[in-house]
Amino acid sequence: MEKNAKIFVAGSKGLVGSALVRQLTSRGYTNLLLPEISELDLTCQQDVADFFAKEKPEYVFLAAAKVGGIHANNTYPAEFIYLNLAIQNNVIHQSYLHGVKRLLFLGSSCIYPQLAPQPMKEEYLLTGLLEPTNEPYALAKIAGIKMCESYNRQYGTKFIAVMPTNLYGPGDNFHPENSHVLPALIRRFHEAKVKQEARRKELGVKSKEQRSLTTSPLTHDSSPGDSVVIWGSGTPRRELLYVDDMAGGCMHLMELSDQHIAPELLSYPKPCFVNLGTGEDVTIRELAETVRAVVGFSGSLVFDATKPDGTPRKLQDVSRMHRLGWKHSVSLEQGIRNTYEWFVENRAAKGD
Ligand SMILES: NC(=O)c1ccc[n+]([C@@H]2O[C@H](COP(=O)([O-])OP(=O)(O)OC[C@H]3O[C@@H](n4cnc5c(N)ncnc54)[C@H](OP(=O)(O)O)[C@@H]3O)[C@@H](O)[C@H]2O)c1
């Protein structure tokens, strides 16, 4: 990608899109097209056609999507399949019509069969039934991959795709009910710490008053209420990738020369997509312990084993991405530290 090339980031305000914009800017790309949904609704075929005709982007990152958790996927399956198919149909087709040099489509690891062997390799696509709760979303993502592959085969385009594992980082959704496991843990531990500190302050004041009356020393390192409840047994294993690492991986693929990318990603029937993860996983208990340490909460963890655990393990095989010359660089602890700092400055401080 040339530093002054016209680059369209679709979905630039989202978790993934904003990380891509940070990477592009820090690497010196200056000619970015970043329309918001209010300026360009990507589900509208005519508007997308007009946008491409006017702006003629040379490179496209397709990170716009209707995204949500299990509840949203279950409640709005029609929206998940329709909106995602519409966005990707419009952007991928216009990219072909206007000669886009390279397009990167963002998929998700939910494309793999529910019972896929672990770690999951790219070849496991379409080898079994999907997880029923997000099947419409996963089918749209699979259609996106197959669209890239079909356009490459028929028209010689260079459309590739990445399947990131669970992402986290600055700009994440920390909603108390519908956020992913890591931001949910960060929020819960932070709130528990704030309560703990308030209680200690109060007890500290009281203990001083009591000391002045009784002269008995009181210490308050912890109280019985200082605990955080975590759903499930704590034993399921999850893989997590820091969002700026994800953006680095995407940039790596967009910056690789055609000679390097073609043998691996543009040689049908080899898949035109690649897993993007760390290839390492941790238990929910280990994850919670790391968040507790980063946040600085000194109470205990309580696992509520009456609540469902979900899939026991979901880990990507990342050897293909390693062969393409990229490996993640941000450790889980450092990533959680950065994310917690962002949360404190941007969410907790504003009372969100
Ligand atoms: N987050 C993860 O853990 C994760 C993991 C693997 C893969 N991915 C993939 O990465 C992609 C982006 O996910 P994300 O987490 O960044 O989601 P996100 O934070 O919800 O961002 C999605 C972006 O798309 C925009 N958008 C939605 N509908 C649009 C439309 N009709 N026209 C124009 N823009 C539209 C949204 O705009 P508004 O905010 O204004 O609606 C938002 O900026 C998705 O394809 C997802 O599958 C994410």
DSSP string, 298-320: -SEEEEETTS----SEE-B--HH
CA distances from residue 168 to 17, 117, 174 in whole angstroms, order as listed: 13, 24, 10
Distance 249 CA to ligand 1 centre (A): 18
- Burial (CB count within 10 angstroms: exposed 0-12, middle 13-18, buried 19+), residue 217: exposed
Over 60: is that where the pLDDT of 37 sits?
yes
Distance 216 CA to ligand 1 centre (A): 58
Nearest CA to ligand 1 atom 36: 11
Least confident of 15-19, 217-221, 314-318, 333-337: 217-221
Predicted TM-score of the model (pTM):
0.91
Q: Is 11 in the pocket of ligand 1 (CB under 6 A)?
A: yes
For residues 263 and 150, give the distance between their C-alpha atoms in angstroms, rounded to a whole number: 17
Q: Is 79 in the pocket of ligand 1 (CB under 6 A)?
A: no
Over 50: is that where the pLDDT of 342 sits?
yes
Grade residue 340 by pLDDT with cuts at 50, 70 and 90.
very high
Distance 84 CA to ligand 1 centre (A): 10
Give the three-state DSSP class for 198. helix
Grade residue 64 by pLDDT with cuts at 50, 70 and 90.
very high
Grade residue 199 by pLDDT with cuts at 50, 70 and 90.
confident
Grade residue 167 by pLDDT with cuts at 50, 70 and 90.
very high
Q: Which residue do the tokens 């994850």 mark? A: 287
Residue 255 has which token pair? 């910056």
For residues 316 and 170, give the distance between their C-alpha atoms in angstroms, rounded to a whole number: 23
For residues 203 and 195, give the distance between their C-alpha atoms in angstroms, rounded to a whole number: 12
Looking at residue 48, what is its pLDDT?
98
Q: 7-169+239-280+314-330 belongs to which homologous superfamily? A: NAD(P)-binding Rossmann-like Domain (3.40.50.720)
Nearest CA to ligand 1 atom 26: 64
Looking at residue 55, what is its pLDDT?
98
What residues form DSSP beta bridges with 105? 62, 161
Closest atom of ligand 1 relative to the 106 alpha carbon: 45
Distance 17 CA to ligand 1 centre (A): 7
**Annotated active-site residue in 29, 59, 96, 137:** 137
Nearest CA to ligand 1 atom 13: 16
For residues 94 and 52, give the distance between their C-alpha atoms in angstroms, rounded to a whole number: 7
Looking at residue 350, what is its pLDDT?
64
Q: Tell me the average pLDDT across 193-212.
A: 74
Least confident of 215-219, 246-250, 252-256, 338-342: 215-219
**CB burial string 10-21: b at 16+ within 10 A, e below:** bbbebbbbbbbb
Looking at residue 120, what is its pLDDT?
97
For residues 136 and 84, give the distance between their C-alpha atoms in angstroms, rounded to a whole number: 9
Catalytic site includes residue 82: no
For the chain, what percent of residues have pLDDT higher than 90? 78
Looking at residue 187, what is its pLDDT?
94
Over 70: is that where the pLDDT of 253 sits?
yes
Grade residue 200 by pLDDT with cuts at 50, 70 and 90.
confident
Q: Tell me the average pLDDT across 264-287.
A: 96
Over 60: is that where the pLDDT of 223 sits?
no
**CB burial string 137-155: b at 16+ within 10 A, e below:** bbbbbbbbbebbbbbbeee
Looking at residue 211, what is its pLDDT?
52
Q: What is the mean pLDDT of the chain?
A: 91
73-109 pLDDT per residue, tens: 889 999 999 999 999 999 999 999 999 999 999 999 9
- Domain ranges across the chain: 7-169+239-280+314-330
DSSP 8-state assignment for residue 129: P
Sequence-distant (6+) residues with CB within 8 A of 129 are 113, 114, 115
User: ω before 217 within 30° of 0 (cis)?
Assistant: no
Name the residue of 8, 12, 15, 84 to mutate for ligand 1: max ligand atoms within 8 A of Cβ: 15
CA distances from residue 66 to 69, 118, 313, 314 in whole angstroms, order as listed: 11, 27, 25, 22
Over 50: is that where the pLDDT of 19 sits?
yes
Q: Is 20 in the pocket of ligand 1 (CB under 6 A)?
A: no
Residues in the chain: 352
Looking at residue 215, what is its pLDDT?
38
Distance 16 CA to ligand 1 centre (A): 7
Q: Sort residue 317 into left (φ over 0), alpha (ψ -120 to 50) or beta.
A: beta
Q: Tell me the average pLDDT across 27-35.
A: 97
Closest atom of ligand 1 relative to the 180 alpha carbon: 3
Nearest CA to ligand 1 atom 7: 108
Grade residue 218 by pLDDT with cuts at 50, 70 and 90.
very low
| φ, ψ of residue 241 in degrees (nearest 5) | -125, 130
- Among 72-86, 141-155, 194-208, 218-232, top mean pLDDT goes to 141-155
Q: Which residue do the tokens 């393409």 mark? A: 324
Least confident of 108-122, 148-162, 220-234, 314-328: 220-234
